[in-house]
Amino acid sequence: MPIDEDKITVFSDYVCPFCYLGKAAMEEYLEEAEDPPEVEWHVFDLRGYKRNEDGSIDHDVEDGKDEDYFAEVRDNVERLKEEYDVEMTLDFSLDVDSWDAQKVSLYVEQSYDEETFGEFHERTFEALWEDGRDIGDVDVLVDIAEEVGVPEDEVRSAVEDDQLDEELERRFEDAQQLGVTGIPTFAYDGHAARGAIPPHQFERLVDGV
């Protein structure tokens, strides 16, 4: 997977709260930067190792994340939510599987212009984290897509498209080979930062300091 070193490359998943927070911080940096770089998004399947064949999430998979871990996550999200002035629910939607959302997002990216993809991408994040909608529900994805001009039949076809499954799997493997082990990861010109970093850290990332 080629990485454009002149763009901020973002590896993220819609169901990751820190990806949503990190996106908000990055957007604040981009608004204030004199010559902001372009942004390129890459999906990274956060819960693939927990996904059953039927698409459901198996919460019994041992991953070392106990109640104390999630309590700390909630505390950190609450803190960053206030620090970055982000509106979001604290429902972490642990039962939501983003795989179909990723497939539709990839389809829109490949089939439509950059503006349409950007709007779909933004509205999918907002649907989950602001409106509390289940983006694992195809009907929800249809609603989001139709708002940006993507017809229902194309969305449902994308969800059933095995080639999109293969492409997502390949991209996930490529990201791992690039050294991405967690999300969000922001990369620029050979440098990378992980986590919901503050706006000033994006400046350091882009300036290489």
- Tens-digit pLDDT string for the chain (209 aa): 567 779 999 999 999 999 999 999 999 999 999 999 999 999 898 876 667 777 666 666 666 666 787 788 889 999 999 999 999 986 766 678 899 999 999 999 999 999 999 999 999 999 999 999 999 999 999 999 999 999 999 999 999 999 999 999 999 999 999 999 899 999 999 999 999 999 999 999 998 76
Q: What whole-number distance in Å separates Cα of residue 155 and Cα of residue 101?
A: 10
Q: Are 200 and 61 in contact (CB under 8 A)?
A: no
Query: What's the pLDDT score for residue 93?
Result: 63
Q: What is the pLDDT of residue 124?
A: 97
**Residue 84 DSSP one-character state:** T
pLDDT for 50: 64
Residues 6+ apart with CB under 8 A from 58: 50, 51, 52
pLDDT of residue 49: 63
pLDDT score for 67: 75
| 186 Cβ neighbours under 8 A, 6+ residues apart | 8, 9, 10, 11, 22, 26, 192, 193, 194, 197, 202, 205
Domains and CATH numbers, the chain: 7-207 (3.40.30.10)
Q: Which two tokens stand for residue 83?
A: 């620090």
Please tell me what DSSP assigns to residue 93.
-
Cα 126 vs. chain centroid, distance in angstroms? 11
